Structure formats: C-alpha cells, structure tokens
Structure 1
Amino acid sequence: MGLIKAILTAPTAPIRFVDWTARQVLDAAEREYYDPAAIRQRLADLSAQLDNGEITEEEFDRMEDELLDRLEEAEEYLNERQ
C-alpha cells in the first residue's frame, strides 16, 4: 500500500516541500526574533552607538523602547511555549 500511496501523492510532493520549507523558515525567524540574548546584544549595540554619537538621544529612546517591548514579548512567548 505504501507504493500506491507514494504514486498517488507524488503530484503533491512539490506543494508539501514548499510547505515544509516555509515552516522551517518561519521557525528559524521566530527563534531569531524571540531570542532574548540577541535582543540584549542589540540593546548593548544601541547603547554603544549612542555613546559614539552615531545616533541621537531621541533615536536611542525610540529604538530602546521598541527593543524592550520586544524583549518582554519574547519572554512571554518563551514562557508560553514551555
């Protein structure tokens, strides 16, 4: 029965592959987006940019708020997955 099923479902193989690939990309993007270590590193980089005069205080405040919100969201996301 396995051979018959394989033959009958062969036309859908490209669709299944695209679906699997999309899920893998989404999973990798979520892991990167919700990685607290990466967010903290971005906060440290942002602070260094401010110290070096590469960004203004207003830009720093805006981006810091966004990153802190993202860090909070990441911690909630990780707690939900456990």
Structure 2
Amino acid sequence: MGLISEVLLLPLAPVRGAGWAIRQVLSEAERIYYDPATIRAELARLEEQLEAGEISEEEFDRQEDDLLDRLEIATRTSAGLGNGTPP
C-alpha cells in the first residue's frame, strides 16, 4: 500500500488488529479441539464416567460417537495437511 492509503486507513488499525487476534484465538482453539491426544483423553474420561455411573449408556454412546467423529476428522486432516487442523 502507498503512504496515502496507509494514512487514510490508520483509524482502522485497531479493527485490523482485533481481527488478527480473533483469527489467532480461533486457530488455536481448533488446534486443541482436533488434537488426537485431547480427544483420546476425553474418551478415557468419558469411560471413567460411565464406569462410575455418572452417565447413562445412551449418553456415553452419544458422546463417544461425537468424539470418534472428531478423531476421524483429526486423523484425516492431519494425514492430508500435516498439521491436524480441519480445512
């Protein structure tokens, strides 16, 4: 960009900075959400809850399906992209 456009767009700098920060937070949240180690830990915790009687078999099945779907997406995208984040 030229000098004039930089001066004219200067009042928008905080908005651009906030947008960058939001994108960084979202990227990190997705990385954690689709991290296979995190998903496996959640599966183990879910099984412990079932064994302790804290959740029903139906609730376990529903949550397990969700976690296995996330794990499948994480595995598929990490094989294709190399970074474990969804497209």
Give the structure-2-normalised TM-score.
0.81
State the partner residue of 1:40. 40
**Aligned-residue identity in percent:** 57
Aligned residues: 81
Task: Name whichever structure is richer in helix by fraction.
Answer: 1
Gaps of 5+ in 2: 83-87
Of 25-34 and 37-46, deviating more is 25-34
Q: How much has 1:7 moved relative to structure 2? A: 3.4
Query: Equivalents in 2 of 1:58, 1:65: separation in Å?
Result: 11
Query: Equivalents in 2 of 1:10, 1:60: separation in Å?
Result: 53
State the partner residue of 1:16. 16
Secondary structure class of the residue paired with 2:55:
coil
Query: Equivalents in 1 of 2:55, 2:45: separation in Å?
Result: 11
Amino acid across the alignment from 1:20: W
Gaps of 5+ in 1: none
- Greater relative contact order structure (CA < 8 Å, 6+ sep): 1
State the partner residue of 1:77. 77
- Once the two structures are superposed, residues 38-69 of structure 1 have per-residue CA deviations (whole angstroms, 9 ceiling, x without a partner) of 00000000000000000111111111111111
Of 7-16 and 66-75, deviating more is 7-16
Q: How much has 1:16 moved relative to structure 2? A: 1.1
**Could you say what the CA RMSD is over the residues aligned between the two structures, in angstroms?**
1.7
State the partner residue of 2:85. none
